[in-house]
């Protein structure tokens, strides 16, 4: 445990920020999982809607610095390719 006052404050702020970061990261992962379930089910219309939601969540996570730009691009490319293959 930190002893200095500023170190204690830093730990407190890191915990708060981690909670916020986890919300963004988990919502991104959930959106991707939901889209994959719809792709497996074969519903093209719902898949397009879920794709837009997933891409938005991925972009937000990338903007917050939770994932790198290449990982975001890789996810978006893979998901878009899978949705387009349903046609």
CB 58 within 8 A of CB 72: yes
Say how far apart CA 35 and CA 30 lie, in whole Å: 9
Task: Indicate the fold that domain 19-84 takes in CATH.
Answer: Methane Monooxygenase Hydroxylase; Chain G, domain 1 (1.20.58)
The pLDDT value given to residue 1: 83
Structural domain boundaries of the chain? 19-84
End-to-end CA distance of the chain: 56
- Global pTM value: 0.86
What is the residue-level pLDDT of the chain in tens, covering all 87 positions? 889 999 999 999 999 999 999 999 999 999 999 999 999 999 999 999 999 999 999 999 999 999 999 999 999 999 999 999 987
The pLDDT value given to residue 87: 74
CA 53 to centroid of chain Cα atoms: 10
């Amino acid at each position: 445990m930190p002893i200095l006052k500023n170190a204690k404050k830093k730990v407190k702020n890191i915990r708060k920020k981690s909670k916020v970061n986890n919300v963004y990261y988990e919502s991104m992962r959930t959106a991707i999982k939901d889209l994959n379930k719809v792709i497996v089910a074969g519903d093209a219309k719902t898949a397009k809607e879920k794709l837009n939601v997933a891409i938005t969540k991925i972009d937000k996570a990338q903007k917050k610095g939770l994932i790198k730009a290449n990982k975001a691009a890789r996810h978006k490319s893979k998901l878009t390719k899978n949705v387009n293959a349903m046609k």
